[in-house]
Amino acid sequence: MSAFHGANPQLIVFSGAGLSAESGLATFRGAHGLWEDMPLEKVCNYSTWEENFDAVHAFYDARRIAAAGAKPNPGHLAVAEWQKRWPGRVYVITQNVDRLLERAGCHPVIHLHGDVLLMHCVDCDFEWEIAPAAYDHAGCPRCRKKKTVKPGVVFFGQAAPHYEVLYELAANLRTADTAVVVGTSGAVLPADQIFGRSRAFSFLVNLEPGSEMDEAAFSACCYGSAGKILPTLTEMIGHRMENPSQN
Ligand code: OAD
Instruction: Give the pLDDT confidence of 10-41 residue by residue, as tens digits.
Output: 999 999 999 999 999 999 998 789 988 888 88
Delineate the domains of the chain, giving CATH numbers in brackets. 1-25+71-113+157-247 (3.40.50.1220), 28-69+116-153 (3.30.1600.10)
CA-CA distance, 28 to 231, in Å (whole number)?
24
Catalytic residue among 113, 120, 162, 239, which? Answer: 113
Q: Taking 80 as the threshold, does the pLDDT of residue 98 lie above it?
A: yes
Ligand 1 center to 13 CA (angstroms): 14
* Protein residue with least CA distance to atom 6, ligand 1: 184
Q: Which pLDDT score is estimated for 6? A: 67
Q: Taking 80 as the threshold, does the pLDDT of residue 175 lie above it?
A: yes
Q: Which pLDDT score is estimated for 1? A: 47
Q: Which pLDDT score is estimated for 244? A: 76
**Structural contact between residues 104 and 76, judged by C-beta atoms closer than 8 angstroms:** yes
Ligand 1 center to 8 CA (angstroms): 31
Q: Residue 114: which of 95, 130, 128, 131 has the closest Cα?
A: 95
Ligand 1 center to 51 CA (angstroms): 27
pLDDT tens-digit series, residues 182-229: 999 999 999 999 999 999 999 999 999 999 999 999 999 999 999 999
Q: Do strands 114-121 and 149-153 pair parallel, antiparallel, or not at all (unpaired)?
A: antiparallel
User: Closest ligand 1 atom, CA of 206?
Assistant: 21
Residues with CB under 6 A from ligand 1: 16-18, 21-22, 27-30, 33, 40, 44, 95, 113, 153-154, 183-185, 187-188, 205-208, 210, 225-226
* Protein residue with least CA distance to atom 33, ligand 1: 95
Ligand 1 center to 96 CA (angstroms): 9
Q: Which pLDDT score is estimated for 114? A: 97
Answer yes or no: 239 catalytic: no
* Claim: this prediction has a pTM higher than 0.85: yes
User: Closest ligand 1 atom, CA of 113?
Assistant: 39
User: Closest ligand 1 atom, CA of 160?
Assistant: 39
CA-CA distance, 62 to 243, in Å (whole number)?
45
**Structural contact between residues 76 and 106, judged by C-beta atoms closer than 8 angstroms:** yes
